A = this chain, B = another copy of it.
Amino acid sequence: MSATAAAAETIADLLSARYGAVDPPAPGPSNEVIRTLLNHRSVRSFLPDRALPAGTLETLVAAASSASTSSNLQTWSVVAVQEPERKARLSVLAANQKFIRDAPLLLVWIADLSRLERLGQARGKEMEGVPYLEAFILALVDAALAAQNAVTAAESLGLGCVYIGAMRNRPAEVAAELKLPPNAMAAFGLSVGWPDPAVRTEIKPRLPLSLVLHRETYGAPAEAEELARYDAALAEFSRRNGMGDTAWTPRVLQRIGTLAGLTGRDRMREVLTAMGFGLR
C-alpha cells in the first residue's frame, strides 16, 4: 500500500490488476505518484492501537486544501473525529461498520455552504445563490476533490483509507452529532489508519477503459459484451478474496435497483431541505 511497496510492482502489473486482466491499456508515462494512484485499494481492517505519525492530520488537510475549488469558494470543511465514544456513535449511524471504531481517525467531509451564509449575514447581504441546486453541486464537488487529495496523501504514507457513503444514511443525526450549522451536510466519511498487515487487500478490477472513456462523443457500442467480461472478472476477484462469486451486475441490481438498497437515502431531499439546503 505504501509508495515503497507499490514501487515493487510494475505499472503493467498495476494496470492488469486494475482491469482484472481484461484488455488493460499499455503502460504509459509513469512515476511514483502514478504508481501510488494505481495501487489504491480500500482498507477496512485497521490496527486499532497504532497512532498516526505527528502532523499527519494537518498534512492531509493541507493536501485537501490544495485541491481545486470552484471559483475559490472553498465550500467544504472537514471534521476530524478521534474520540472513541464519538466515533462509536457515528459508526452506529453509518451502518454500524466496525472499521469506523477501529481506525484512529475518522474524517467527515462536509459540503459546507454555511460559511458563505455566515459571510453574507455578517455583511447584511442575502446570499442569493446559496439556495440553488447548483450551490449544492458545487459544495459536493469541492468536498470530493479535497477528500481525494487527502486519500492520495494518506496512501502515499502507507496509511489505509476507506470512504463511508453510509454517513449519508442518517444525515440529520450525523449533523446533530457533529453540531453542524444549517447548510452544512456530511457528504461522506473517511476512515484513516494503519492497515492490519494480517489482512490481505487486493486491487479491485474496474470497468474497462472502453466503457468509461469516450472519445469525442459518448458511445458504448459493445457495452453488453464488455459488461459480461467485467462480470466474469469481478466474480473471479470475489472468489479469490473470499467474497463469494458475485459478479457486478447482481450487486448493482441489489444496490440501486431496489429502493431498499438506498438504505433510507430515498429521503435525502426532504432531510436536506430540513437542514437548510434550498436545492432549488
Contact = CB atoms under 8 A, between A and B. Distances in A.
A45 interface: no
Contacts of A88: none
A121 to B, nearest CB: 11
Interface stretch (A27-35, A96-104, A192-200): A27-35
A181 B72 contact: no
Contacts of A38: 62-63, 66
Nearest to A234: B72
A157 B31 contact: yes
A261 B256 CA distance: 35
A10 interface: no
Given A33-B33, A59-B30, A134-B268, A212 B72 contact: no
A1 interface: no
Contacts of A266: 129, 132, 134, 280
Contacts of A19: 62
Interface in A122-173: 122-123, 125-130, 132-135, 137-138, 140-141, 144-145, 147-149, 151-153, 156-157, 162-163, 165, 168
A280 to B, nearest CB: 6
B34 A32 contact: no
Given A163-B68, A212-B61, A265-B132, A53 B79 contact: no
Interface string A221-260: 0011001000000000000000000001101110111110
Contact of A66 (B37, B76, B177, B184): B37
Interface in A188-213: 188, 203-204, 206-207, 209, 211-213
A65 B120 contact: no
A32 B29 contact: no
A252 B119 contact: yes
Interface of A: 3, 15, 18-19, 25-34, 36-40, 42, 53-59, 61-74, 76-83, 86, 110, 115-116, 118-120, 122-123, 125-130, 132-135, 137-138, 140-141, 144-145, 147-149, 151-153, 156-157, 162-163, 165, 168, 177-181, 184, 187-188, 203-204, 206-207, 209, 211-220, 223-224, 227, 248-249, 251-253, 255-259, 261-262, 265-266, 268-269, 272, 279-280
6 contacts: A34-B63, A72-B248, A78-B213, A125-B253, A126-B257, A144-B148
